[in-house]
Copies of this chain bind each other. A is one copy, B any other.
Amino acid sequence: MNKLNLDQKTIESCRIHANAIAEKIVRFIDNHTTVSVERSILRLLGVDGVDRYQVPLVNRLVDDCLQQRNCGEGISRYLAASLKNTQRNLADFLVAYQAGKATLAKDPASVEETLAILKPWIDQGLKKIQEQKELRNHWINTYGTAKTQIYVIVATGNIHEDVIQAQAAARAGADIIAVIRSTGQSLLDYVPYGITTEGFGGTYATQANFRLMRQALDEVSKDVGRYIRLVNYASGLCMPEIAAMAALERLDILLNDSLYGIIFRDINMQRTFIDQNFSRLINAYAGILINTGEDNYLTTSDAVEEAHTVLASQFINEAFAKKAHLSASLMGLGHAFEIDPEIENSFLFEIAQAEMAREIFPDAPLKYMPPTKHISGNIFRATMQNALFNLATVMTDQSIHLLGMMTEAIHTPFLSDRFLAIDSAKTIQKTAKSFREAIDYREGGVIHTRAREVLQKAKLLLGDVEKTGLFNALENGVFAGVKRPFQGGKGLEGVYVKDKDYVNPIALRMEEFFR
């Protein structure tokens, strides 16, 4: 039952605008590839490992391709040619390549040849993903999914310490564990390798770390009788690669949003839209839920004035996700409880925003972020703010409930911070269980009025963005007030126009799957 009775026509208009906005970008995307897309293909074909300077083989191969050849033809065609020329299977070729005994072919194979030669590895990669997907579905069917899932982060920098804390959190009631990445990883144009024990404000996302944590969570899932979901970030310069690794290692959720990278990490917009599209295709194929980053806008710009930008961005993200075959059930659109509590009726504004998201995206597993910007070193006040947030989550029936920490303004969570947060969230879930069904928003009340206003403003904004185009809009700073030039930012050098004979054999097969 809709509690706000928002105007369906306005919502529809928003979707039409958003679709048109995404459409234009997708046309651009379709003509381009990036180094990271190419590396992801290699990863899904089974290329792994690093050289003795810790440079991943996938980077070595793609760099070779770049330096001597044209990446716009697609790494796959060179790889296929190499296998053909050397008459080796992939594993053997890689050993030889790494030992300097084989090089990447000078000329690419044809598209047909490529598909034929690589077929065994394509099959193998996709099969592995499908197996992981089935395994996940099996777990979920066995244990079910909480209506509101409790999401906490671990971020010690040391994966072993993270494991201890993740398991403890799961036992205490957490449903979802996110391993925050070390600051700066999103700016690296490669994915670090192996188990890592040192990071800053987070732990490096590596395939080995993924595997270690997945195993630990599977273990604890059995004990607690809940499937504990694992989260990482397919964001920054290696979006599709992380998605590929996540698909292979059965991560369940990925923070995955180019807009975040553009705005907050100054990643070049061309690069990251292209990367995002392939990463979302992989996610859709692997059944990985994505979380978008709209919540971050309000940490930078004013939460009262700019609330509609969050909604507008959610519509755009929805449109992009649809185009990458993500179903609504995998669109964890983000929003946040970020208004200054010193503003009169700000709690009601928050409720309006959260309820609006719920009503407009009824099938999306919305991700609701806690207050962060207006949390100070006063841990007691923070505890109070988080209690209000926890109640808002129950009131508006959010799906993914990222818990606020009392030490938000101080450090990444201590073990005890997480426990106290889980205690608060679970207690409020219980004590206010049927709150949503016990109240209605009064017609003309602050909540009602606010929701309408925000929706209206989002529609106008989307109309404008449709007119100027998303690239221009980003240049003009529509989101979070941050302006980014089309040619600026990090990673543009990794963008290539596709040759007319370009092929991405993985994407082909995945697209087929969805047809």
Contact surface of A with B, Cβ cutoff 8 Å: 341-348, 378-381, 383-384, 386-388, 390-391, 406, 420, 423-424, 427-428, 430-435, 437-442, 445-448
- B-chain residues with CB within 8 Å of residue A380 when the two chains form the complex: 379-380, 383, 406, 420, 424
Is B427's CB under 8 angstroms from A437's CB?
no
CB distance from A331 to the nearest CB of B (A): 29
- B-chain residues with CB within 8 Å of residue A446 when the two chains form the complex: 434, 437-438
Is B433's CB under 8 angstroms from A345's CB?
yes
Is B381's CB under 8 angstroms from A428's CB?
no
- B-chain residues with CB within 8 Å of residue A341 when the two chains form the complex: 427-428, 430-431
Total identical chains: 2
Of the candidates B342, B384, B406, the one whose C-beta lies within 8 Å of that of A430 is B342
- Report the nearest B residue to A382, measured CB to CB: B383
- B-chain residues with CB within 8 Å of residue A428 when the two chains form the complex: 341, 347, 384, 388
| CA gap between A380 and B438 in the complex, in Å | 28
Secondary structure type dominating chain A contacts: helix
CB distance from A353 to the nearest CB of B (A): 14
Given known A437-B445, A438-B445, contact A431–B381 (CB-CB < 8 A): no
Is A448's CB under 8 angstroms from B442's CB?
no
Of the candidates B386, B387, B440, the one whose C-beta lies within 8 Å of that of A440 is B440
- B-chain residues with CB within 8 Å of residue A388 when the two chains form the complex: 387, 391, 428, 431-432
- B-chain residues with CB within 8 Å of residue A406 when the two chains form the complex: 380
- B-chain residues with CB within 8 Å of residue A445 when the two chains form the complex: 434, 437-439
Q: Interface centre among A345, A388, A428, A446, by most B CB within 10 Å?
A: A388
| CA gap between A158 and B83 in the complex, in Å | 89
Given contacts A381-B427, A383-B387, 19 further A-B contacts (CB under 8 A): A341-B427, A341-B431, A344-B431, A345-B431, A345-B434, A348-B432, A348-B434, A379-B380, A384-B384, A384-B427, A388-B431, A434-B445, A437-B442, A437-B446, A438-B442, A438-B446, A439-B447, A440-B440, A440-B441
Closest 3 CB pairs of A and B: A438-B445, A387-B387, A347-B431
CB distance from A441 to the nearest CB of B (A): 6
15 contacts across the A-B interface (CB closer than 8 A): A342-B430, A347-B431, A348-B433, A348-B434, A381-B427, A383-B384, A384-B387, A384-B390, A384-B424, A384-B428, A388-B428, A388-B431, A437-B446, A439-B447, A440-B441
- B-chain residues with CB within 8 Å of residue A427 when the two chains form the complex: 341-342, 381, 384
| CA gap between A388 and B388 in the complex, in Å | 8
| CA gap between A446 and B406 in the complex, in Å | 31
| CA gap between A439 and B355 in the complex, in Å | 13
| CA gap between A430 and B379 in the complex, in Å | 20
Is A423's CB under 8 angstroms from B381's CB?
yes
| CA gap between A383 and B378 in the complex, in Å | 12
CB distance from A159 to the nearest CB of B (A): 28
CB distance from A381 to the nearest CB of B (A): 6
CB distance from A254 to the nearest CB of B (A): 31
Of the candidates B347, B379, B433, B448, the one whose C-beta lies within 8 Å of that of A435 is B347
| CA gap between A344 and B426 in the complex, in Å | 11
